[in-house]
């Protein structure tokens, strides 16, 4: 039986989660994409808390492209700096590091996050 694109992504995601772990000092920056939006969170895995989050819907955008993904990254960096977070661990969620995911990471870096 052939493996679907979704099953492949979930398999890659599990491998990434086995290697990437967030702490209070260096939380995990988790990315999720849907057909309508892009969502990102800063997660402390030790305590199981979300420290900051944002999405394209929060910016009031209904269509997501590379420019909007970059804006979401910058918005998260602003929230992170307000919470005193400067360094993160990047969790791409099984998505290829290309296009919208790369733009989001670049926007977060421009906003001041280090990873």
Residues 10-29: pLDDT tens digits?
Answer: 999 999 999 998 888 899 99
Residues 101-114: tens digit of each pLDDT: 999 999 999 999 99
Has residue 61 got a pLDDT over 90? no
User: In this structure, which topology does domain 5-110 adopt according to CATH?
Assistant: Nucleotidyltransferase; domain 5 (3.30.420)
Residues sharing a CB contact under 8 Å with residue 1, sequence separation 6 or more, in sequence order: none
Residues sharing a CB contact under 8 Å with residue 100, sequence separation 6 or more, in sequence order: 33, 38, 64, 65, 66, 69
Residue 71 pLDDT: 96
Q: Which residues of 15-34 are buried (b: 16+ CB within 10 A; e: fewer)?
A: ebeeeeebeeebbbbbbebe
pTM given for the model: 0.89
Has residue 98 got a pLDDT over 80? yes
How confident is the model over 66-83, as a mean pLDDT? 96
Give the pair of three-digit tokens for residue 96.
């290829």
């Amino acid at each position: 039986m052939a493996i679907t694109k979704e099953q492949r992504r979930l398999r890659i995601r599990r491998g990434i989660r086995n290697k990437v772990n967030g702490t209070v000092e260096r939380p995990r920056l988790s990315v999720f994409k849907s057909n309508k939006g892009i969502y990102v969170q800063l997660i402390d895995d030790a305590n199981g808390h979300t420290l900051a989050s944002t999405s394209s819907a929060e910016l009031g955008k209904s269509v997501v492209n590379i420019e909007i993904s970059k804006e979401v990254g910058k918005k998260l960096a602003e929230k992170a700096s307000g919470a005193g977070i400067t360094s993160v661990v990047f969790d791409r969620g099984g998505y290829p590091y290309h296009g919208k995911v790369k733009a989001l990471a670049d926007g977060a870096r421009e906003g001041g996050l280090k990873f």
